[in-house]
Amino acid sequence: MDEQAKPVDLESLATFQQDRVLMSSPTTGSTYVLGKLHGEQAIVHVQKTALDAETAGHLVKTGLEDVQVDLDNRPYFSAHARIRHTPTSPPDVILKLIWPATDTHIRKYSAQVREMIRETPELYEKVVVPYIESFPKERLEWVYNIMDGKKEADRVLFKDDHKEDGFLILPDLKWDGTTMSALYLTVLVNSPIRSKRDLKKSHIPLLKRIRAQVFRTAQKKYGVPPQSLRLFVHYQPSYYHFHVHVVHIQHEGLAGMTVGQAHMLDDIISLLELSSPEPAPTILSQMTFTYALGVEHGLYEALAAGQAENLQHTEEDGRMEKRSADAYDETPLGQKHART
């Protein structure tokens, strides 16, 4: 990769060669496009910016031009219009770029069928752990760059450099930085925790400090009170360095908040508090987690095969129990209650 090449400026983007659309959502106004930039695979995410509720009335009054009415049926009217641009106008779209994009990125952002997976602790050890360990350290280099202050330092809202119990808070790239009802922050921890499966009782103070600091930061920086925030963790996560998602409660249409994928931080803390003292395994490490997984995900084939095998064993055990019950029912009544 040409380290000197600038991926996000008008001159560079003009060289983007589109290959195909990976995924598009009319609900969020979001489209992922695969192509090439500077000779390497790139994914461009184009999304319409949200309308700021505070300025909507002003926009209607003075900020529109070329209004074209397409429905006139009193009391209902509908029209298309263009926004009149001024030096202070907000941007029309948000651009996000993954460059160079790997095959894993392409699979992740491609429209795909999803199926429900039941991940037992045994499947986690047999399938998920080797999958995580197969990734080179460079895969998380972008995370380490943030943690070390080499990248995005100007975006960090809070940072505690303690090696084990430290963490930082910064705006998530999915937020436009202005629409409070769509506020989205991310918390990255310093400790080498991969996912919630790795959490122990000794991590409870860290998780509680994260919760308290997020509340303080959101209130002080953006005026958003604690009761307006959702704090949750993904499983499976999109990358295996433990992080917490912080989203405004009014945020709508976020796929990452679906049942099975999003796990509330408060619930995780409670389960750790209910777990036996170390070194006993935690409840989280012993649970079976059920979640939707895309068929293009690197874990899908192995987990689906393991799930099918477990289901087969369960059905066989059920048939054996039924045969035992049937044999018992056929036993003469006197023998069933015979004393030994």
Q: Which residues are the active-site residues?
A: 243
Report angle CA 43, 46, 49 to the nearest 5 degrees: 150
Angle formed by the axes of helices 204-222 and 265-274, nearest 10°: 160
- What 3-state class would DSSP assign to 289? strand
Phi/psi at 151 (nearest 5 deg)? -135, 150
Q: How many residues does the chain have?
A: 340
Token pair belonging to 336: 């069933």
Q: Which residues of 33-46 are buried (b: 16+ CB within 10 A; e: fewer)?
A: bbbbbbeebbbbbe
Q: Does a cis peptide bond (omega within 30 degrees of 0) precede residue 18?
A: no
Token pair for 320: 């054996």
- Find the angle CA(101)-CA(183)-CA(257) to the nearest 5 degrees: 70
Q: Tell me 198's DSSP state.
A: G
**Would you call the peptide bond into 279 cis, given omega within 30 degrees of 0 as the criterion?**
yes
